[in-house]
Amino acid sequence: RRIDPATIADDPGFQELCESVGRHGVLQPILVRPLAVPTAEGIRYQLVAGERRWRASQANGHELLPAIVAQFGEPEARIATLVENIQRLDVPPLEEAEGFRQTLDALSISQKELAQLIGKPYHYVTNRMKLLNLPESCREAVRQNAVSPQHAVTLAGFPADVRDAFLAAAVKGMSWQKLNDAKKRWEQVESFVLPAQREAVAALVARGQTAGQISRKLLAAEAGPAGSAQTVALRTLPGLQRLARQGWLQLSDEPVPVDELIAALQADLRHLKGAKAVP
């Protein structure tokens, strides 16, 4: 990556490199290529890989450092620079993704071709590229190392109005597998959650509540406090919602007394069991 001289002091890894170069010198040569047109001062070279080593040498007052001169064209130079960067253990995921994007655009190659050129699995490149299309809240969480790139890609799949509940759970340590499970649970309940309930229900899902537990909470909320006339909106019942989506039912918006609904459903259930028992 190109190092911003203004931020070098804040980079602990670079400071460690400076100390190492001060004690031992540059042990790994930098990689340069000659520029096509010589100048009045002679042949000039373009740095291809090793900018951190070069800057560490400058910081220590070294005028000379070992270099390998390679006859690279523009495509090869870009790939060499990219490989140098991704071999660093501390390269930030978003920075790596941006490097991939710049190389893809400059060389007009596919992600599969790039993966082959840099020796990475194809899925590694595609997953990194997904980071560039994430919502800003997810990108910032990755930037701050609050969540992993895997977490961020999964979080992007949640609707924007409920994403923060799951982002907060991921920041607190929810594993990637549990986040995926939470996404499946949300998809199970989303269709029967009213707009005003979405954020509250998302918080319940993020805390590990199942679809059944959430349905019971919604029913209790619809029924009202104890001692009042208990009613429920049919559209909040997941089973009836599924039948309605398949076109088998039309659900009224009018609330139905809970006791009457239970009695009716129990009678229908007895009827269905009897019908099933008939050979």
Active site residues: 51
Question: Strands, E, within the chain: which ranges?
Answer: 30-34, 45-49, 67-69, 231-232, 256-257
20: amino acid identity, one letter = S
